[in-house]
Structure 1
């Protein structure tokens, strides 16, 4: 049982680190979305000087990719945390809650 308890504490630490990285990636996704909005606005106003059309398309594609990847990653990370919480409550606290 001590081995299982040790693994659960290690999982707790690992999930905390993963959660921190997920939030960092989420911040990057948000900033990338803001960049996309700025470029879209500049193009709409005819002020697009820095980026050419290919760069604009690439920013839009990467922005969409990041958005959906982060969305999926956050959902899966939340599921993993809930599973861990259930295991923690069951094994460490002995509540038997699932």
Structure 2
């Protein structure tokens, strides 16, 4: 990464930020689905019907848990990649005074 031009690094940064944006939208979707599930569960508990829906809720929670696990791990990796690109750009532009190439 050290031999890349500032222009190439900015393209790398743009890509990494796009990946973070995708992971963020998946997290928003997970949040919406979990809110809907909790609302549904609360409604069924209020009616005393929670026993009839346990398997369905268990499956949904298992899937959401796995999706959340992988999305958060991907987000952490993308963050680290972005941090490295930023660090290289900072080094080239601020510390070394490099101009656009």
- TM-score, reference length from structure 2: 0.70
1:9 maps to what in 2? 10
Q: Which moved more, 1:73-82 or 1:51-60?
A: 51-60
Residue 27 (structure 1) aligned with residue 28 (structure 2): yes
Structure 1 residue 45, shift from structure 2 partner? 2.0
Cα gap change, 1:81 to 1:67, in 2 (>3 Å)? same
Residue 77 (structure 1) aligned with residue 43 (structure 2): no
Aligned length: 92
In the alignment, the residues of structure 2 paired with residue 35 and residue 7 of structure 1 have an alpha-carbon distance, to the nearest angstrom, of 43
Structure 1 residue 25, shift from structure 2 partner? 0.8
2:99 maps to what in 1? none
In the alignment, the residues of structure 1 paired with residue 65 and residue 21 of structure 2 have an alpha-carbon distance, to the nearest angstrom, of 22
Cα gap change, 1:9 to 1:32, in 2 (>3 Å)? same
Q: What are structure 2's unaligned runs of at least 5 residues?
A: 97-101
In the alignment, the residues of structure 2 paired with residue 43 and residue 55 of structure 1 have an alpha-carbon distance, to the nearest angstrom, of 12
Q: Deviations over 1:45-79 (max 9, x none)?
A: 23659x84432222111221223223323322222
Structure 1 residue 94, shift from structure 2 partner? 4.8
Answer 1 or 2: higher relative contact order, Cα 8 Å, separation at least 6: 2
2:65 maps to what in 1? 64
